[in-house]
Amino acid sequence: MKTLPISPENPWLAPLAGYSDLPFRMLCRAHGAAVTNTEMVSAKGLCYFNRGTTSLLQTHPDDAPLVLQLFGADPEPYDQAMDKTLEMGFRFFDLNAGCPVRKVTKSGSGSRLLEDPDRLCAIAEIMVRKAGPGRVGVKTRLGWENGNDIFLDVARRLEDIGVAWMTLHPRYGKQMFTGSADWSRLAEIKQAVSLPIVGSGDLYTAEAAVRCLRETGIDAVMFARGAMFDPTIFERFHALMRGQEPPRRTGEQLDRVVRMHIRYTREFDGSERAFRKLRSFIPRYAKGLRDIRSLRNELITCETWEQLEAAASRIREMEPADPLGFDPAAVIPD
């Protein structure tokens, strides 16, 4: 594949630190994700091939198209990082210029790169030169802080460099995830450059994503926390785009999702670390359902995969706490 499918009908899964590993990506693909991203990977860590970094590169022939997201404040390691990952078979790349988390920004990485657009563009230029045309994107925010709105200037510079797409989360880095994403800025950037624009931010439901596309005219949407809460959000999105009614969230449907996630995790990892991670992940799927606390308590005592499946199967019988259903947007934010 020479280019990525960037269109309104092709929803993306965001790079989610600690979450978008191979099993979760495969789960989202099974429910309609057209493009997925790895967790963010340190360019410097790739130069040393440390174990923690290389574990993030696990993939599978069916895990495609896949975008490898790199982060780091220093341009120099990107040369070697790109060479190594290209040798491993990766073809599509993203520069993380949007993560607002302190452990990333304290080194000048992530959204802190927006304070130094020359450095940001120098890194993007290395990645484009190494990967070739049509293969590098940049995920970013409006600026580091309110009043420092440099996203349009950065977008124009990146277009000149040869970046193939941009993903914009319309908040400021310093803002983290507080307040609301300003979708009007997505419309602004779409009008300012000819680059395909992928939108992110507050897409907690499939309905919100469809509305965002229609209001802004952007080229595609990227689900983050919405997918962490409900991997079937991609199916719902496809149904709405076809003019159909999306399926209701039920305990039985969630039970199928959880079983699939357990199966993928055992198939592609199966380690004790993966077991503990999944054990803490499952309650996210059941947010908004009755008796979630007792389920969480039961899950954390599980010691085997069989016990985990048995405990998780209780989701099948659980119902929404609100008899009229529940609004995912009201229960997703942590």
Q: How far apart are CA 121 and CA 115, in angstroms?
A: 12
H/E stretch holding 139 reads: strand 136-141
Q: Is 302 a catalytic residue?
A: no
Name residue 132's beta-bridge partners.
none
Q: Are 78 and 123 in contact (CB under 8 A)?
A: yes
State the catalytic residue, choosing from 28, 99, 212, 302. 99
Name residue 12's beta-bridge partners.
35, 222
Q: Are 299 and 279 in contact (CB under 8 A)?
A: yes
Q: Is 256 left (phi over 0), alpha (psi -120 to 50) or beta?
A: alpha
Q: How far apart are CA 54 and CA 184, in angstroms?
A: 38
- H helices of 31-147, in order, are 43-48, 51-54, 76-87, 102-105, 117-131
Three-state SS for 22?
A: helix
- DSSP symbol at 198: E
**Catalytic site residues?**
99
